[in-house]
Every structure is written in structure tokens, then in C-alpha cells.
Amino acid sequence: MTRLHNNANILCIPGRELQDNEEELEAIITNFFGTEFEGGRHERRINKIESLTQSN
């Protein structure tokens, strides 16, 4: 959802939770990078965030 709604480009993965589960880890990574930003109703929030980072 963070990529879909917030156009996130950073993925944090809990190492201890997934260290012995390569299949789940691969599914999480594939899902994250395979998800495109939805835009639409979320675009306004992203534009506000970008304008704040541009002015600082």
C-alpha cells in the first residue's frame, strides 16, 4: 500500500523475521517493485510533500 498510495521508493524489511523465509522475502520484494503508484486521489498529498521538500 505504501507504494500504491504514497509512491514510496524505500522498502524496509525486518531481517530477524524473514531470515529463514526466502519465499516470503522474495514475494515482498517482487510485490513492492511490481506495484505502480495509483495517483488519482493520492496525487494531491504527494504534491504537497514534494513542495515542502523543494522549498527546504
Local confidence band at 56 (pLDDT 50, 70, 90 cut-offs):
low
pLDDT of 9-46, one tens digit each? 999 998 888 888 899 999 999 999 999 999 999 999 89
Query: Position of cell 494531491?
Result: 44
pTM: 0.71
Domain limits of the chain?
A: 2-55
Candidates 48, 42, 35, 31; CA nearest to 6 is 42
The pLDDT of residue 32 is: 96
Local confidence band at 5 (pLDDT 50, 70, 90 cut-offs):
very high
Q: Where are the alpha helices (DSSP H) in 1-56?
A: 2-6, 15-18, 22-34, 43-55
Rounded to a whole number of angstroms, the CA Rg of the chain reads: 14
Which residues touch 29 (CB under 8 Å, ≥6 apart)? 11, 13
Q: Output the CA torsion sign for 12, 2, 21, 26.
A: negative
pLDDT value at 7 more than 80:
yes
